[in-house]
């Protein structure tokens, strides 16, 4: 018997030693895994793509359109008395109050309380905090356009423990693990208490510590098996051994799952505070902190935006536990219990501007190579405007629906909206439906621009020919034969007619081909190609006559970029990517496009003025009948056999280019005026509404004069038909209309022109 007992003891000791060795090996391995995971980034933090924030400074220009629409587009809600982040109010037509949403790391000048500003004619006149302290600058961030997430769809914003209020820390500990500060990862008393509760009542209570929950969520599955529970214990012990309590609590608060918005999983208190209250965690009140802590047990069942009464009941349980454990006093408890459940959810980030986001991802990978975007936690600042993006998508969809039956073939389209003075892309729509086709026709679709290219030709002509060319210069619209590819080529007008001697203005307004070709030949095709190369087309053009009629391929984005030079004569390469920061706010990429002066302001203005005539009297005059009444410049374009329909138009702040056609170039039977122009009108009306664009003053080197349509002299009050004409300063007509003028009109014109006549007579000696 003694031998049997001795052998049994030895075997048991061996088994115990073996078990201890195995346990130690498992523990050691768990500790290695814990340290590796925590030190090398415990989570996948999505890259967030942000729209351009609203930047306010005294004297700065507000975005186009009504201010209420601008703020709504950034994800702000209009209320009578804005007090919560994400709210705004209009005290009057010229005064607004905004409570900014939280920004992102590194974004400066985002006020944490309400700001108030006044504006007149689209410019900020006064900026201050609501309490009266003046501000020199304030940034109002918008809701992200997109998140580049991993396959789990987790949306997380890691927050340091120092930025998580003590009330939230206490609430979580009170309801999830009251002895968190006392145990070493596993709490036998907690397990015993849970077993007793489960046996003696219908309520179910878990015995896992906060550390065990963290171990399960970070390293294990949710399956309920003995082996998983044992692994959980080892990982919990390893966590407690490797890190102090504060670090474990920080990891836990950033790890926990706190609900679902569509396909997006809300993880961590940083994201939850924003998702449910539009706040940074540091700004949570006691009742809000208790509500979030109460959600941990069953996040979707206690979601305050969907189940406010259940959320309130659960919140009050947490507050009672906090009072019972001495973490709050009776006064704090009663005030928090009395507070209503007030939810101010942030708009769930579903991907907006999908074609633009795809292009942005490619750009980010170029400027920050080797980064895994779905887990890097980058913050990408763009030039995009969510409101204008939605307006462009809606306008294209409605426009395509209207012309589908008339076209007889499946049509696609593209829209680009830019801020021409800076090259900023505000919106990009690459097709009818991103779900059906991810091909970006706005940036990658190359089609012939046709007559929409002509204003760029005239810009080059004004620049290269100088004062010898003006809107009133006469051109021959007569048969013309040139050599193209070694063969005779005779351009024709779209109406198959010739109109004799016409002005440059008439040629542009009526989109006549023959006189435009004559201008190109007069300039010299090699010189014209060199000039156009400065508009982003270098190496793309051949010096052939058909060039001036747009007989080569361009994308809508390239058309918009080239048109931007019409704003002030400077070409600015288009950009969507403004700045890239890492998760800590450090700038990884920052840069603006450099402007290249290609023409003078006067030369650009002349082309804009010719294009204004297109909308008033020319091929784009349907814009007025369709309801667009603000001043603007535009140009229609229709390619051979109506394969492509274009319209490009701009005002003092906005430039929009619309293209319609079939993916396989086939005749559609639709012109630019019929198909593309109505979409442009719909888009611009949606953006502008009743807010007129800024004025377009005549530059110093030009003069605007009212001209009689019949005589082409200075108009009098008796001329029945007139239009405003622009001349190089000093070249404007002096004499009053000889057909309709009264003697008093002629005398007034003579007196007005006397200084000019004397100057011409004496060679500039007489002033």
Q: Provide the token pair at 328.
A: 């709050």
23, two tokens: 């346990």
Q: What pLDDT is recorded for position 449?
A: 96
Contact 274, 346 (CB under 8 A): yes
Helix (H) or strand (E) holding 723: strand 722-728
Residues of the chain with pLDDT > 70, as a percent, come to 90
Q: For the range 291-298, what are the long-range contacts, defined as Cβ-Cβ under 8 Å and sequence gap of 24 or more?
A: 291/315, 291/318, 291/341, 292/168, 292/171, 292/258, 293/168, 293/171, 293/172, 293/174, 293/175, 293/176, 293/318, 294/171, 294/175, 294/318, 295/258, 295/259, 296/172, 296/175, 296/176, 296/256, 296/258, 297/175
Residue 361 to residue 149: CA distance in whole angstroms: 12
Is-same-fold flag (147-338; 390-688)? no
Q: Say how far apart CA 142 and CA 98 lie, in whole Å.
A: 12
Integer angstrom CA distances of residue 205 from 26, 175, 213:
28, 11, 14
Q: DSSP of 639-689, one letter per residue?
A: -GGG-EEEEEEE-SS-EEEEEEE-SS----S--IIIIIHHHHHHHHHHHHT
Q: What is the pLDDT of residue 233?
A: 82
Catalytic residue among 87, 147, 154, 176: 176
**684 CB contacts (<8 Å, ≥6 apart)?**
628, 630, 632, 649, 651, 654, 656
CA torsion 755-759-762-767 (nearest 10°) is 70
Assigned token pair, 404: 């589908």
* Domain limits, the chain: 1-40, 50-143, 147-338, 390-688, 702-761
| Lookup: tokens for 323 | 């009072």
The pLDDT assigned to 230 comes to 76
Q: Give CA angle at 598 (597, 602), nearest 5°.
A: 90
Q: Tell me, what's the pLDDT at 44?
A: 78
Beta carbons of 329 and 318 less than 8 angstroms apart: no
pLDDT score at 198:
46
Tokens of 556: 């809508």
CB 707 within 8 A of CB 439: no
User: Are the CB atoms for 665 and 643 separated by under 8 Å?
Assistant: yes
pLDDT of residue 264: 81
Is 725 annotated as catalytic? no
What CATH class has 390-688? alpha beta
Please compute Rg for the chain using Cα positions: 35
537 DSSP 8-state letter = I
Instruction: Please name the residues in contact with 256: beta carbons below 8 A apart, sequence gap of 6 or more.
Output: 213, 217, 267, 268, 269, 296
With beta carbons less than 8 A apart as the criterion, state whether 588 and 553 touch: no
Contact, 504 vs 469, CB < 8 A? Answer: yes
Which of 168, 345, 375, 378 is CA-nearest to residue 261?
Answer: 345
The first and second tokens of residue 385, run together, are 């405007």
Interatomic CA distance for residues 345 and 304, integer angstroms = 10
pLDDT score recorded for residue 23: 61
Q: Which two tokens stand for residue 218?
A: 């970070």
43 token code pair: 């989570």
Task: Say which residue the tokens 């504060």 belong to.
Answer: 246
- The 10 Å Cβ neighbour count of residue 217 is 16
Q: Is 446 helix (H, G, I), strand (E, B) or coil?
A: coil
210 close to 180: Cβ distance less than 8 angstroms: yes
**Model pLDDT, residue 657:** 98
Sign of the dihedral through C-alpha 111, 114, 118, 122: positive
Which parts of the chain sit beneath pLDDT 50? 198-199, 201-205, 764-767
- Find the helix packing angle between 210-219 and 2-39, rounded to 10°: 70
Distance in angstroms between the alpha carbons of the first and the last residue of the chain: 135
Pick the CATH number of 147-338 from 3.20.20.70, 3.40.50.10420, 1.10.3810.10, 1.20.1250.20: 1.10.3810.10
- The set of residues, in sequence order, having a beta carbon less than 8 Å from that of 436 and lying 6+ positions away, is none
The verdict on whether 227 is a catalytic residue reads: no
Quickly name the fold that domain 50-143 has: Penicillin-binding protein 1b fold (3.30.2060)
Q: Which of 155, 208, 278, 451 is catalytic?
A: 451
Q: How many CA atoms lie within 13 A of 653 on its CB side?
A: 18
State the pLDDT at residue 765: 41
533 DSSP 8-state letter: I
């Amino acid at each position: 018997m003694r031998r049997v007992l001795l052998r049994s003891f030895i075997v048991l000791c061996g088994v115990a030693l073996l078990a201890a060795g195995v346990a130690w090996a498992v523990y050691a391995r768990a500790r290695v895994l814990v340290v590796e995971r925590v030190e090398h980034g415990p989570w996948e933090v999505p890259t967030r793509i942000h729209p351009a924030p609203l930047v306010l400074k005294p004297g700065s220009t507000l975005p186009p359109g009504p201010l209420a629409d601008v703020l709504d587009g950034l994800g702000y809600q209009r209320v009578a008395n804005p007090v919560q982040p994400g709210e705004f109010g209009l005290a009057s037509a010229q005064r607004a109050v905004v409570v900014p949403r939280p920004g992102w790391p590194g974004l400066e000048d985002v006020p944490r309380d309400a700001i108030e500003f006044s504006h007149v004619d689209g410019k900020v006149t006064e900026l201050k905090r609501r309490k009266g302290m003046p501000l020199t600058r304030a940034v109002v961030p918008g809701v992200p356009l997109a998140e580049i997430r991993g396959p789990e769809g987790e949306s997380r914003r890691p927050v340091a423990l120092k930025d998580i209020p003590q009330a939230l820390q206490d609430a979580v500990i009170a309801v999830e693990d009251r002895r968190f500060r006392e145990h070493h990862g596993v709490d036998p008393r907690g397990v015993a208490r849970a077993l007793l509760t489960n046996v003696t009542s219908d309520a179910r209570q878990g015995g896992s510590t906060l550390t065990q929950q963290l171990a399960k969520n970070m390293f294990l599955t949710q399956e309920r098996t003995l082996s998983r529970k044992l692994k959980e214990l080892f990982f919990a012990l390893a966590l407690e051994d490797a890190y102090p309590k504060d670090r474990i609590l920080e990891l836990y608060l950033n790890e926990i799952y706190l609900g679902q918005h569509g396909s997006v999983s809300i993880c961590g208190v940083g994201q939850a505070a924003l998702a449910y209250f539009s706040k940074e965690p540091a700004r949570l009140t006691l009742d809000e902190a208790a509500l979030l802590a109460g959600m941990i047990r069953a996040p979707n069942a206690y979601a305050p935006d969907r189940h406010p009464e259940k959320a309130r009941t659960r919140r009050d349980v947490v507050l009672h536990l906090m009072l019972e454990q001495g973490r709050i006093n009776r006064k704090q408890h009663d005030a928090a219990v009395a507070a209503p459940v007030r939810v101010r959810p942030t708009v769930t980030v579903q991907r907006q501007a999908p074609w633009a986001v795809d292009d942005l991802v490619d750009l980010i990978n170029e400027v920050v190579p080797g980064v895994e975007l779905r887990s890097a936690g980058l913050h990408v600042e763009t030039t995009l405007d969510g409101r204008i993006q939605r307006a462009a998508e809606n306008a294209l969809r409605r426009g395509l629906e209207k012309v589908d039956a008339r076209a007889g073939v499946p049509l696609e389209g593209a829209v680009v909206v830019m801020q021409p003075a800076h090259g900023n892309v505000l919106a990009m729509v690459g097709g009818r439906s991103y779900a059906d086709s991810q091909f970006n026709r706005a940036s990658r679709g190359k089609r012939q621009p046709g007559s929409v290219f002509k204003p760029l030709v005239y810009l080059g002509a004004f620049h290269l020919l100088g004062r010898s060319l003006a809107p009133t210069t006469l051109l021959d619209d007569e048969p013309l034969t040139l050599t193209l590819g070694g063969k005779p080529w005779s351009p024709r007008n779209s109406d198959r007619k010739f109109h004799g001697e016409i002005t440059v203005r008439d040629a542009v307004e009526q989109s006549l081909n023959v006189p435009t070709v004559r201008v190109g030949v007069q300039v010299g095709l090699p010189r014209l190609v060199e000039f156009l190369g400065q508009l982003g087309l270098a190496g793309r053009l051949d010096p052939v006559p058909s060039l001036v009629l747009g007989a080569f391929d361009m994308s809508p984005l390239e058309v918009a970029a080239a048109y931007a030079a019409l704003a002030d004569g400077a070409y600015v390469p288009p950009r969507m990517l403004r700045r890239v920061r890492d998760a800590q706010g450090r700038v990884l990429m920052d840069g603006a496009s450099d402007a290249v002066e290609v023409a003078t302001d006067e030369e650009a203005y002349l082309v804009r003025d010719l294009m204004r005539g297109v909308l008033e009297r020319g091929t784009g005059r349907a814009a007025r009948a369709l309801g667009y009444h603000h001043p603007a410049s535009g140009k229609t374009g229709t390619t051979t056999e109506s394969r492509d329909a274009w319209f490009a138009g701009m005002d003092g702040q906005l430039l929009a280019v619309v293209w319609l056609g079939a993916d396989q170039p086939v005749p559609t039977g639709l012109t630019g005026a019929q198909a593309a122009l109505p979409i442009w009108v719909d888009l611009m009306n949606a953006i502008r509404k009743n807010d007129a664009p800024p004025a377009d003053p005549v530059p110093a080197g030009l003069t605007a004069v009212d001209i009689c349509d019949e005589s082409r002299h200075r108009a009098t009050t008796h001329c029945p038909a007139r239009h405003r004409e622009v001349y190089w300063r000093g070249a404007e007509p002096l004499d009053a209309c000889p057909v309709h003028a009264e003697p008093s009109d002629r005398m007034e014109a003579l007196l007005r022109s006397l200084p000019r006549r004397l100057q011409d007579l004496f060679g500039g000696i007489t002033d």
